[in-house]
């Protein structure tokens, strides 16, 4: 197994590889050792690149005390759709909702959006669009309950996020633009809350646990363990394990890329010769063992264990290449390894 270390610049190295979205847990793990200003800067980079911060896989926050009771109640009421009816008349959230409900409709949002393209810095136009969008902010805030942030805070962040980004609108589907900026702002405050709860640190610990379990099962089973086997050993869901596996692969890739960039220190000729000989002998022994197998079995083990310089492949990946089911791959691998053991 390849060892790896987290670099201070791991986030900066990972950012260019991101496409459409990043899970909040992975985001936090990459930035766990950074200070608050670096995290804020990372949020800005996501927005500039239109990369969605996905909080859907963050753990729900249970907590204790009055705040936790309030959070749970808001989540329940948001799901039932009875916020206005069930909150007390003096509740700040109810008063706010009544206030925005009383704002009169003052224009067609699509027409105003077209005007916004030509008048990006018109504060009155921006305020009108924001007022028309407040009900949508509330609707999206209800979908983000349960992650440790009060509804009023979610509404405030969503409204501010939309307000700050209206000047970036260049045309197209305004509703999609509006919703993305609202949700992204809410995702940022939820992610910060999760950071305060130590989610990034827990994720990094999960990476170490994954590697330990992977090595343990590899020794016990004599083959690469499946994702399901690792998940069971870690007491995690397969989906959670997949996230950890993806992060582990990213860390390995970064470690390998860095190693390739760094010049190797020259070694004494004698030491280098010993290393080359040991490497040659080990490789020759592997080739000898594989040559005793039929071609399909040798190819299967080469793919599964990354013997040609690539990364080890899962049963699913190997099966796709060889035209086998994952179950057939596991069975064929076990038979091939048994044959190799008999030749030792």
Q: 206 lies in a domain? A: no
Does residue 211 lie in a domain region?
no
Q: Quick one: 186 and 310 in the same domain?
A: no
* Tens-binned pLDDT, residue by residue, of the chain (344 aa): 444 444 445 788 888 888 899 988 888 888 877 888 888 999 999 999 999 999 988 877 655 567 778 888 888 888 887 777 888 888 888 888 888 888 777 778 889 989 998 888 888 999 999 999 999 999 999 999 988 888 999 999 999 999 999 989 988 899 999 999 999 999 999 998 888 776 555 556 667 777 788 878 877 777 778 888 888 887 777 777 776 776 666 555 555 555 555 555 555 554 444 444 444 454 455 566 777 788 888 888 888 776 665 566 777 888 888 888 888 888 888 788 777 766 65
175 within a domain of the structure (yes/no)? yes
Domain of 329, in residue numbers: 275-344
Q: How far apart are CA 246 and CA 6, in angstroms?
A: 15
Pinpoint the alpha helices (H) of the chain.
10-14, 24-30, 36-48, 65-80, 83-86, 92-101, 109-118, 123-143, 151-165, 174-196, 199-221, 227-234, 238-261, 269-291, 295-305, 315-322, 326-342
Q: How far apart are CA 83 and CA 141, in angstroms?
A: 12
Residue whose entry in the numeric block shows the structure tokens 């080469």: 302
Residues 169 and 285 in one domain: no
pLDDT confidence of residue 262:
56
- Burial string for 272-301 (b: 16+ CB within 10 Å, else e) reads eeeeeeeeeeeeeeeeebbeebeeebbbbb
What is the tens place of the pLDDT at every residue in 6-64?
444 578 888 888 889 998 888 888 887 788 888 899 999 999 999 999 998 887 765 55
Same domain as 186, residue 286: no
Looking at 168, 196, 224, the residue that finishes a domain is 196
Other CB atoms within 10 A of residue 257 CB: 11
User: Is residue 141 within 8 Å of 159, Cβ to Cβ?
Assistant: no
Find the radius of gyration of the CA atoms of the chain.
27
Q: CATH number for the domain including 332? A: 1.10.10.10
- The answer to whether position 95 is within a domain reads yes
Residues 80 and 184 in one domain: yes
Q: Note the pLDDT of residue 275.
A: 41
pLDDT score for 319: 85
Is residue 231 included in any domain, yes or no?
no
Count of structural domains within the chain = 2
Decide which of 161, 196, 231 is a domain's last residue: 196
Examine residue 343 and state whether it is found in any structural domain, yes or no. Answer: yes
Please report whether residue 229 resides in a domain. no
Q: Note the pLDDT of residue 278.
A: 44
Picking from 147, 179, 196, the residue at the C-terminal end of a domain is 196
Distance CA 213, CA 230 (A): 7
Q: Is residue 123 assigned to a domain?
A: yes
């Amino acid at each position: 197994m390849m060892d790896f270390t987290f670099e201070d610049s791991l986030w900066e190295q990972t950012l260019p590889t991101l496409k459409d979205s990043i899970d909040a847990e992975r985001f936090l793990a990459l930035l766990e050792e950074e200070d608050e200003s670096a995290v804020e800067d990372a949020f800005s980079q996501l927005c500039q690149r239109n990369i969605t911060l996905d909080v859907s896989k963050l753990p729900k926050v249970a907590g204790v005390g009055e705040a936790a009771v309030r959070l749970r109640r808001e989540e329940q009421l948001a799901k039932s759709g009875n916020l206005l009816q069930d909150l007390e008349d003096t509740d700040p959230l109810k008063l706010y909702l009544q206030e925005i409900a009383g704002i009169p409709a003052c224009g067609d949002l699509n027409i105003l959006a077209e005007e916004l393209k030509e008048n990006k810095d018109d504060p009155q136009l921006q305020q009108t669009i924001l007022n028309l969008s407040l009900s949508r902010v509330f609707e999206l805030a209800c979908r983000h309950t349960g992650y440790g942030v009060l509804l009023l805070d979610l509404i405030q962040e969503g409204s501010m996020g939309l307000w700050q980004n209206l000047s970036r609108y260049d045309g197209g589907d305004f509703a999609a633009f509006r919703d993305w900026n609202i949700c992204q702002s809410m995702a940022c405050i939820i992610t910060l809350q999760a950071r305060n709860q130590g989610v990034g640190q827990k994720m990094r610990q999960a990476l170490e646990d994954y590697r330990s379990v992977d090595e343990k099962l590899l020794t016990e089973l004599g083959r690469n363990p499946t994702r399901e086997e690792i998940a069971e050993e870690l007491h995690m869901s397969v989906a959670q394990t997949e996230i950890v596996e993806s992060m582990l692969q990213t860390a390995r890739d970064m470690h390998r890329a860095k190693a390739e960039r760094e010049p190797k220190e020259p070694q004494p000729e004698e030491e280098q010769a010993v290393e080359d000989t040991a490497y040659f002998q080990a490789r020759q022994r592997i080739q000898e063992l594989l040559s005793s197998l039929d071609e399909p079995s040798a190819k299967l083990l080469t793919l599964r264990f990354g013997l040609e310089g690539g990364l080890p492949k899962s049963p699913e990946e190997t099966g796709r290449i060889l035209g086998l089911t994952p179950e057939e791959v596991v069975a064929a691998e076990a038979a091939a390894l048994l044959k190799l053991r008999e030749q030792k």
